[in-house]
């Protein structure tokens, strides 16, 4: 009898565990049974009939995560654009991606361009969607010099990844809500770099770039973080004038150079105090105004400024809620 009681207890426990496990599965299965998945992939390659010294690449989308990179291998195209859409949500039976997007691939023989517009704001209705992803992969011919112009009107991110030895010209990215990443290691920069985000982060990473001519950097946002991350062990070849500007966000500057022919000046406007920031090989100048804090500024110039070539970057924050962080290093010893 005792053994039978133990068996009954074990069976009861196992039944209870099975109910605990199965009920959520049943509920989830029922909840997702009304969801439908839409997947779409296509690509186009652009090879203009008339080739120019500098080609224009124009992108204008409402939503999407865009990645721009380069192909070293010999290819026939100037630009390859891949579009991948994945959507899961309620009441999508019989629907297609063209019920949500208007897509224009431009003229593949003359104009490397791509635009994608939302047909309604249901894209932002969280009660409909379980998953919604749009990725746009741009591959550029490494042997061609491009002006890159990209706009994300509503929500998304843009990454421009320029590998070793590639030449780039003007790059201008505008994002309403999302992030921008510029990653430029050991490349040649011939034009200006511009980035604007209303709500989101901007990061500019430059590692031992060479500059064909003097260039202007202009990064700004309303709120979020702006990062200048600069490493310059090699000679630059030209001068950079830069601006970083935020209303309610944070600006970070990370700078390292070990070259006596490279100098830097960073001017932090509307600053209240040094905080926990670090500088080595830089000389500070302080211009404070206790009554008008927005007129106060700290200047940090390297021991060898202006040097043969230099960075001259001004940082602005327009509200006291914003913040500055900086880590500056200048050592006049060339690293080969």
The residue with tokens 């999407």 is 64
| pLDDT at residue 56, rounded to an integer | 92
Query: What strands lie across the sheet with 188-189, from one edge to the other?
Result: 167-168, 188-189, 210-211
Domain boundaries, the chain: 1-33, 36-161, 174-336
| pLDDT at residue 95, rounded to an integer | 84
CB contact at 8 A, 265 and 301: yes
| pLDDT at residue 237, rounded to an integer | 96
| pLDDT at residue 30, rounded to an integer | 43
| pLDDT at residue 23, rounded to an integer | 44
Which has the closest alpha carbon to 57: 151, 178, 156? 151
CB contact at 8 A, 229 and 254: yes
Count Cβ atoms below 10 Å from residue 323 Cβ, excluding itself: 16
Q: What is the pLDDT along the chain (336 residues), one digit of tens a residue?
A: 555 555 445 555 544 555 455 445 444 444 444 678 889 999 999 988 777 888 999 999 999 999 999 998 889 899 999 999 999 988 777 888 999 999 999 877 777 889 999 998 888 988 888 889 999 999 999 999 999 999 999 999 999 999 999 999 999 999 999 999 999 999 999 999 999 999 999 999 999 999 999 999 999 999 999 999 999 999 999 999 999 999 989 999 999 999 999 999 999 988 765 556 889 999 988 887 666 666 778 899 999 998 999 999 999 988 766 678 899 999 876 555
């Amino acid at each position: 009898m005792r053994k039978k009681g133990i068996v009954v207890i074990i069976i009861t426990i196992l039944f209870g565990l099975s109910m605990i496990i199965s009920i959520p599965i049943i509920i989830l299965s029922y909840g997702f049974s009304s969801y439908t998945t839409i997947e779409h992939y296509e690509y186009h390659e652009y090879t203009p009939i008339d080739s120019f010294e500098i080609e224009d690449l124009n992108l204008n989308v409402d939503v999407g995560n865009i990645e721009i990179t380069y192909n070293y291998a010999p290819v026939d195209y100037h630009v390859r654009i891949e579009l991948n859409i994945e959507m899961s949500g309620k009441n999508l039976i019989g629907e297609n991606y063209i019920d949500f997007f208007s897509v224009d691939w431009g003229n593949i023989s003359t104009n490397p361009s791509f635009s994608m517009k939302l047909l309604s704001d249901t894209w932002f209705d969280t009660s409909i969607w379980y998953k919604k992803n749009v990725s746009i992969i741009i591959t550029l011919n490494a042997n061609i010099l491009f002006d890159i112009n990209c706009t994300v009107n509503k929500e998304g991110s843009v990454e421009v990844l320029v590998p070793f030895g590639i030449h780039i010209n003007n790059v201008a990215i505008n994002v309403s809500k999302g992030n921008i990443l510029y990653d430029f290691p050991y490349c040649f920069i011939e034009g200006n770099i511009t980035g604007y985000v209303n709500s989101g982060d901007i990061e500019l990473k430059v590692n031992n770039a060479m500059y064909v001519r003097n260039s202007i950097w202009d990064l700004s946002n309303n709120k979020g973080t702006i990062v200048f991350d600069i490493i310059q062990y090699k000679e630059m070849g030209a001068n950079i004038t830069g601006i970083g500007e935020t209303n309610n966000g944070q600006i970070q500057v990370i700078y390292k150079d070990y070259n006596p022919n490279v100098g830097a000046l960073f001017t932090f406007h509307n600053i209240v105090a040094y905080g926990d920031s670090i500088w080595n090989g830089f000389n500070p100048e302080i211009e404070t105004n206790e009554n008008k804090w927005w007129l106060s500024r700290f200047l940090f110039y390297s021991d060898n400024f202006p040097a043969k070539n230099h960075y001259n970057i001004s940082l602005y924050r327009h509200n006291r809620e914003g913040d500055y962080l900086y880590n500056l290093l200048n050592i006049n010893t060339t690293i080969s």
